[in-house]
């Protein structure tokens, strides 16, 4: 039964969504957009994927995949159900709903870079038509949807369209909502469809339409009162993790000085059935959210003359961890009468966490650059990355080394604890192993250092 919140003029759009006949466009075919697109496709929606990267479009068009956890067979099955990928933004006009899933990194000054959002919305606007639903999923600071996205859409569309703000159901309006992505690459314990979807529309009708859209592929939607609430929700989720990871990283440094095993401490504390959730130390933060999102809020808070001290301190601690790792390698080599300058170091794992093919903000990249800057000869091994070239913040141009000759290295540094690695054999064969992830737990060896 149609809700009274949706204007009569858009009964057709709601009906299309509920009947899975709506045309859905997903912009940005990366780790967020492509899996989302496939969910809609599996539910028999007509889906078009948009991306400015011609190589991605070509791979998908040819039935291939560039994301490890999405096999080519899934793309081929989706194509058989009508999926297509394109770089032609004029096709936006044919979509009933458009979902934006583009990157929102930090710039070199650790300030928000929403240029991908801006350029994408500028591409959408000339092809916007009345009664379309536009949803932003990209993580960003509270206010982006209403302060950035809507003004561009209203200014640059060709029909004089205005966003629906809950007024009368005129034919020259469109709907806008924000719904934060909640991807967790490598997490096989929670099915994607079981992750509740937070939705905040500019108007009640926008919220209901977006909730209906996502409710067709997710088991639960969580409507909130505005896009800003939805934007802040995503930031809170990741700032919570960032602060707690910083806390346990700081405690790890203290425990190292005190001769206490922080991993044993965490395991013991985890037996408490209430009031404690375990977080784990590591070589630094990686991924598309936790190292980035807190700085979005810190930056936005300055507009309100407010300093987010917890967030800034957590950022400082987490950003210092790669330096701690390199110092630990230098110290471990020094105890063996070997200088870091000139030492051969093999870094195990460049992905930002285990068993995924994602380099974004990976601490391994920073660690490799720091090791090189101190004179080390560095190789890496990662089963998910045969090569590492050039990115926004790194230029390594390296090829994954074989694990057959670990004995030839002065130090093997475990940065990403992929399940594929045979840690007992590595510890047995290597001259020195420095473990930042507790991957070697249960293994005792004189050539093993945990940091």
Residues 235-253: tens digit of each pLDDT = 999 999 999 999 999 999 9
Structural domain boundaries in the chain: 8-225, 241-450
Please state, in angstroms and rounded to a whole number, the distance separating the CA atoms of residues 199 and 212. 10
Tell me what the pLDDT averaged over the chain comes to.
94
What does the pLDDT read at residue 394?
80
Confirm whether 8-225 and 241-450 share one CATH topology: yes
Burial classification of residue 22, based on how many CB atoms lie within 10 Å of its CB (0-12 exposed, 13-18 middle, 19 or more buried): buried
Sign of CA dihedral 291, 293, 221, 11: negative
How far, in Å, CA of 199 to CA of 177, rounded? 7
Backbone angles phi, psi at 389, to 5 degrees: -105, -115
Superfamily covering domain 241-450: NAD(P)-binding Rossmann-like Domain (3.40.50.720)
Q: What homologous superfamily does CATH list for 8-225? A: NAD(P)-binding Rossmann-like Domain (3.40.50.720)
Give the pair of three-digit tokens for residue 267. Answer: 């395991």
Q: Is 451 known to be catalytic?
A: no
- The Cα 253–Cα 344 span in angstroms is 26
Residue 359's closest CA among 138, 108, 185, 181?
Answer: 185
Q: For residue 106, what pLDDT band results from cuts at 50, 70 and 90?
A: confident
Where is average pLDDT lowest: 10-14, 68-72, 81-85, 162-166? 10-14
Of 101, 289, 411, 451, the catalytic one is: 289
Q: How much is the pLDDT for 381?
A: 98
Residues 50 and 17: their CA atoms lie apart, in Å, by 20
**Measured between alpha carbons, how far is 349 from 408 in angstroms, rounded to an integer?**
18
Q: What is the dihedral of CA 313, 316, 317, 320, to 10 degrees?
A: -170
Report d(CA 82, CA 40) in Å as an integer.
11
> Given a cut of 80, is residue 307 above it in pLDDT?
yes
The pLDDT tens digits for 350-383 are 999 999 999 988 999 999 999 999 999 999 999 9
Element (H, E) at 50: strand 46-50
Per-residue pLDDT band for 4 (boundaries 50, 70, 90) equals: very low
Question: The tokens 């934006």 sit on which residue?
Answer: 100
| CA dist., res. 168 & res. 10, Å (int) | 12
Give me the DSSP letters along 337-400: T--STT-EEEEE--SSSTT----TT-HHHHHHHHHHHTT-EEEEE-TT-SEEEE-SS-EEEEEP
What would the pLDDT profile of 388-444 be if each residue is shown by its tens digit? 988 777 889 999 999 999 999 999 999 999 999 999 999 999 999 999 999 999 999
Instruction: Please give the structure tokens belonging to residue 192.
Output: 């994607």
pLDDT for residue 169: 52
Q: What's residue 7's pLDDT?
A: 54
């Amino acid at each position: 039964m149609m809700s009274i919140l949706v204007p009569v003029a858009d009964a057709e759009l709601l009906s299309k969504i509920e009947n899975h006949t709506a045309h859905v466009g997903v912009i940005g075919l990366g780790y967020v957009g492509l899996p989302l697109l496939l969910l809609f496709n599996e539910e028999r929606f007509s889906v078009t994927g948009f991306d400015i990267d011609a190589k991605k479009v070509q791979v998908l068009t040819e039935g291939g995949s560039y994301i490890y956890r999405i096999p080519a067979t899934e793309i081929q099955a989706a194509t058989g159900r009508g999926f297509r990928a394109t770089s032609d933004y004029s096709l936006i006009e044919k979509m009933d709903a458009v979902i934006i899933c583009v990157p929102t990194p930090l710039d070199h000054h650790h300030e928000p870079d929403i240029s991908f959002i801006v350029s994408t919305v500028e591409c959408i606007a000339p092809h916007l038509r009345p009664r379309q639903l536009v949803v932003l999923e990209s993580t960003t600071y509270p206010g982006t949807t209403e302060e950035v996205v809507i003004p561009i859409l209203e200014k640059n569309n060709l029909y004089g369209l205005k966003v629906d703000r809950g007024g009368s159901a005129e034919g020259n309006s469109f709907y806008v909502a924000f719904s934060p992505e909640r991807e967790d690459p490598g997490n096989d314990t929670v099915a994607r469809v079981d992750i509740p979807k937070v939705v905040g529309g500019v108007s009640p009708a926008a919220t209901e339409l977006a909730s209906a859209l996502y409710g067709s592929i997710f088991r639960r939607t969580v409507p909130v009162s505005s896009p800003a609430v939805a934007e802040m929700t995503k930031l809170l989720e990741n700032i919570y993790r960032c602060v707690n990871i910083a806390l346990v990283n700081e405690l790890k440094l203290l425990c190292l000085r005190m001769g206490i095993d922080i991993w044993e401490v965490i395991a013991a504390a985890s037996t408490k059935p209430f009031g404690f959730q375990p977080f784990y130390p590591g070589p630094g933060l990686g991924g598309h959210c936790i190292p980035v999102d807190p700085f979005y809020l810190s930056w936005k808070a300055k507009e309100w003359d407010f300093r987010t001290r917890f967030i800034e301190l957590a950022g400082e601690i987490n950003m210092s961890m790669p330096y701690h790792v390199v110092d630990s390698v230098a110290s471990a080599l020094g105890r063996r009468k070997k200088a870091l300058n000139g030492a051969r170091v093999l870094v195990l794992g460049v992905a930002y966490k285990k068993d995924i093919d994602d380099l974004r903000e990976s601490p391994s990249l920073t660690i490799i650059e720091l090791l090189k800057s101190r004179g080390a000869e560095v190789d890496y091994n990662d089963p998910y990355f045969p090569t590492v070239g050039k990115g926004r913040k790194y230029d390594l141009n390296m090829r994954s080394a074989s694990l057959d000759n670990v004995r030839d290295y002065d130090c093997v540094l475990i940065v990403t604890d992929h399940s594929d690695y045979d840690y007992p054999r590595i510890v047995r064969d290597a001259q020195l192993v420095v473990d930042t992830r507790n991957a070697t737990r249960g293994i005792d060896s004189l050539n093993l250092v945990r940091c």
